[in-house]
Chains A and B, each alone.
Chain A
Amino acid sequence: MIEISNISKSYNKGAVKAVDSLDLKVNKGEIFGFLGPNGAGKTTTIKMVVGLLNPDSGSIIIDGTDIAKEPLTAKRKMGYVPDNPNLYDRLTGMEYLNFMADVYQVSADMRKERIEHYLEMFNLKGAASDLIKSYSHGMKQKTALTGALIHDPRVWILDEPMVGLDPKSAHLLKNQMREHCDRGNTVFFSTHVLEVAEKLCDRVGIIHKGKLIAIGTIDELRHGENKGSLENIFLELTEQ
């Protein structure tokens, strides 16, 4: 579903190499967890995958569509939520969701169903007609999630989605991610919470200093020379 071939990205005209020849494939029906220390290049990779950053080299294919060649088609296939979503402060939550539904050309019936579903699930109904300005961090995050999922994209790409969500919302989101993948779709997300990765992900990738240093199911990662919890593996791999 997501094919990342040999992408690199540097900032400051080559001074900082944030992502270095990264190859990665995320399959259909898979929840893929993207791990790595701070500054490893997770956000940079994700932003390239969704088209917010232009890679210096390499290519990215989403569900058969090359993001550089047919960006609009590729964007219709995915829903993205950044780690710290800045939304339009002076729109209400509902206006924002209607706007997103319009630009994704979601029919009136579908949008009604999905907006009601997510507002109910995230307990946002009461706030929907307030300005986004008045929302808490978590409320903004949930509004951004709803807006990103309103067109029922096949590929979800989430940058640290659990940060800022209360336990109940996080739990419900995890369930949604599972259900989504069981229907043959894909979720690609970054996280620092290793327990979540361990329990939820079909496969994980660990990125360190811009390079992918490990990839596979949790069991596969355990098998090599490393034994023990994902935490130990993570600490060992990212030591240097």
Chain B
Amino acid sequence: MKPFLSFIKMQLNVNYGISALKYRFTREKEKLWEPVLVGVVILVSLLPLAAMYIGLMISMFTAGTIIGQPEMILTVSFVLAQLMILIFGLFYIMGSFYFSKDLETFVPLPLKPYEVVGGKFAVIMVNEYLTSVPILLPPIIIYGAGTGQGIIYWLKSLVLMVVAPVIPLSIAALIIVLLMRVVNLRRYKDLLAIIGGLFAITIGVGSSLLFQNVPENPEEIQNFFTSQTRIVDMIGSRFPPSIWATRGLADVGIAGWGYFLLYLAASAVLMMLLLWISNLVFYKALLAGQEVSRKRNNISKSRISRQIGRTQSPVTAIAKREWKLLMRTPLYVLNGLVSSMLGPIIVAMMLLLKNEPELAELIGSLSEPGIVPYAALACLGLMLFTSGMNLVASTALSREGQTIWIAKMLPVSAKQQVAGKLVVSYVISAIGVLTTSLIMLIFLKIPILWTVGATIVGLVGSVPMASLNLLLDVFHPKLVWNSEQEAMKQNINGGIGMLISLLVLVILGGIAVPMTIIEIPVQMVFAAIGAVAAILGVLSILALFAVAEKKYRDIEA
């Protein structure tokens, strides 16, 4: 048991960088305000979502009280939390059990497979609290306060919150461990990354479509929920543990304790089952190898010399390298190219799917002479939004990671290196803009001249966005990471970069809106936006070059 516990401790330590943090603040004497500021920004930006969720829960509680089932919100929140944990868990577990780099270090250690699995499970479980606690805490407080519960309720709910991730996560882990035993998915790592990404996008789009169907004012919400109790019951019965948790909290006396213990017992049993099964099969799948395909047939001399290219300029060479590294990494393609085309494609899909006459009428009216200019202006907004929402520029230097020493060694100025990166980031943004133009032409039937005008302004407006995003990453790159996921998606620069793009959008919108209100011809508005964007673009490129010259020197590899 001792090595197991110290392994768990080590895992938590490594994954949450506890020692690293200590080291950073005590030995390297870094400033503490940076991470704190980032934390505050994240919290503040989540506030609206939290407010919406709490509002929803309060209406559901009121609705439940009316029909005599106030505990309904507990069931719903447990179902929701467990579903989320199950879905995220599948991906976390796959990554951490089979694709993580540290596995090579653990396998030779004198640890039983179940100990390795247990340690990794503990880390993911802590991760899942980030999802489960925000989902569970508000309903538990609302119900507890609303029905005036005593101390036992609060203690029980604390325990349930702590163990909440165990059941869904064990199920997810069992699915993955057994699946990996049958098919060796490790060979299809790149494919899986794409499937995972598309899946996440589907969930995102799906849930936003779903939210469109939720009525807006509180009374209607209550009616909505009262009419849906049967659904809640039904969902609950598909996930019995959430009923046990609900009853365990809401029922008094023996029944309450019975359900409560049943829930804990179920968690324990599933956990044991997972550890037992992993002990049998985990290493077998893990050791089945992870190979990169290669040809390795001896290539003839002439082919070698054909592959040796002619001399290109350093900026071209860097841009080509960036492009290849980007396009050969599925995760980057997904968060770069795909996400930059996604906005317009979703709009197109919604237009196609929603077969409503009003919509057809609306689209028809878009091509009326009086409306066209404003429609074009709106499309320009969409273009700029799309081009600002990809992570290519805002992680461009971070993605170099451990290969940054090459960049430092190259006899190429920082200015030229970032220029190469800017070209690639800009191309990705431009693809987003052009996709929007296609949609304008094909689905919205905006006249070609207006489409071209909006596209030109959109392309100009993408320049400050891409260069400011790149500037951000050059200023504060995240060069230490273990997986491409960490480099791009778990990189704070991505989020901040989007905010910067939004800021540019707000500035440009701030010019457009007043001009439109005082009825200046839309052509003039376009010209004004284009001019301001061009000025911003030139300034931000100059700033980018200046910052790069300084920062590339400061980076130590």
Contacts and interface: CB of A to CB of B under 8 A. Distances in A.
Interface in B406-448: 406, 408-413
Interface in A91-107: 91, 94-95, 97-99, 101-107
Given A103-B411, A126-B298, A134 B406 contact: no
B403 A88 contact: yes
A75 B294 contact: no
Interface in B320-379: 320-321, 324-325, 328-329
A57 interface: no
A102 B28 contact: no
Given A91-B325, A95-B324, A99-B321, A86 B29 contact: no
14 contacts: A12-B27, A12-B28, A52-B556, A54-B553, A82-B405, A88-B325, A91-B321, A94-B304, A95-B324, A102-B314, A116-B301, A119-B304, A126-B297, A131-B294
A172 interface: no
B311 interface: yes
Given A13-B28, A54-B556, A88-B325, A99 B295 contact: no
Given A75-B409, A112-B308, A90 B294 contact: no
B321 A130 contact: no
Interface string B232-250: 0000000000000000000
Given A76-B411, A88-B403, A126-B298, 8 more contacts: A50-B409, A90-B328, A97-B308, A98-B307, A99-B320, A115-B304, A126-B297, A128-B307
A108 B308 contact: yes
B309 interface: yes
A129 B299 contact: yes
A87 interface: yes
A90 B403 contact: no
A69 to B, nearest CB: 12
A133 interface: yes
Contacts of B28: 12-13
A64 to B, nearest CB: 16
Interface string A60-88: 00000000000111011000101000111
Given A12-B27, A119-B304, A130-B295, A52 B409 contact: yes
Given A119-B304, A134-B294, A80 B409 contact: yes
Interface of B: 27-29, 291-299, 301, 304-305, 307-314, 316-318, 320-321, 324-325, 328-329, 401-403, 405-406, 408-413, 553-554, 556-557
A91 B29 CA distance: 38
A125 interface: yes
A202 B554 CA distance: 35
Given A12-B27, A102-B314, A52 B405 contact: yes
A98 B411 contact: no
A13 B29 CA distance: 7
B411 A129 contact: no
A123 to B, nearest CB: 10
Interface of A: 12-13, 15, 47, 50-54, 71-73, 75-76, 80, 82, 86-88, 90-91, 94-95, 97-99, 101-108, 111-112, 115-116, 119, 125-131, 133-134
Contacts of B292: 130-131, 133-134
B296 A90 contact: no
A199 B90 CA distance: 57
Contacts of B295: 129-130
Nearest to A132: B292
A12 B310 CA distance: 45
A102 B307 contact: no
Nearest first, the 5 closest Cβ-Cβ pairs linking A and B are A102-B317, A130-B294, A86-B402, A134-B292, A90-B328
Contacts of B308: 94, 97-98, 101, 108, 111-112, 115-116
Contacts of A51: 408-409
B315 to A, nearest CB: 10
Contacts of B401: 86
A103 B318 contact: yes
A75 B411 CA distance: 5
Contacts of A73: 411
Contacts of B402: 86
B139 to A, nearest CB: 46
B334 to A, nearest CB: 15
A52 B557 contact: yes
Nearest to B310: A108
Given A95-B324, A129-B299, A131-B292, A53 B410 contact: no
Contacts of B556: 47, 52-54
Contact of A107 (B311, B324, B410): B311
A71 B410 CA distance: 10
B68 to A, nearest CB: 61
A116 B292 CA distance: 25
Contacts of B313: 102
A126 B304 CA distance: 9
Given A91-B321, A108-B308, A131-B294, A125 B410 contact: no
Contacts of A106: 311
A90 B329 contact: yes
Nearest to B410: A103
A138 to B, nearest CB: 15
B323 to A, nearest CB: 11
Contact of B304 (A13, A76, A90, A128): A128
A53 to B, nearest CB: 5
B410 to A, nearest CB: 5
A104 B405 contact: no
Nearest to B555: A52
Nearest to A14: B29
A88 B320 CA distance: 13
A87 B299 contact: no
A52 B555 CA distance: 8
A128 B309 CA distance: 14
Contacts of A130: 292, 294-296
Kindly name the residue among B313, B314, B316, B321 whose own CB sees the greatest number of chain A CB atoms within 10 A.
B321
Nearest to A93: B307
Nearest to A74: B411
A86 B328 contact: no
A90 B412 CA distance: 22
Given A94-B308, A102-B312, A128 B299 contact: yes
Nearest to A79: B409
Contacts of B318: 103
B75 to A, nearest CB: 47
Kindly name the residue among B304, B409, B413 whose own CB sees the greatest number of chain A CB atoms within 10 A.
B409
B314 A103 contact: yes
Given A50-B409, A130-B294, A116 B29 contact: no
B553 A102 contact: no
B65 to A, nearest CB: 58
Contact of A125 (B298, B320, B406, B413): B298
A54 B554 contact: yes
Nearest to A130: B294
A98 B410 contact: no
B311 A75 contact: no
B118 to A, nearest CB: 31
Contacts of B413: 72
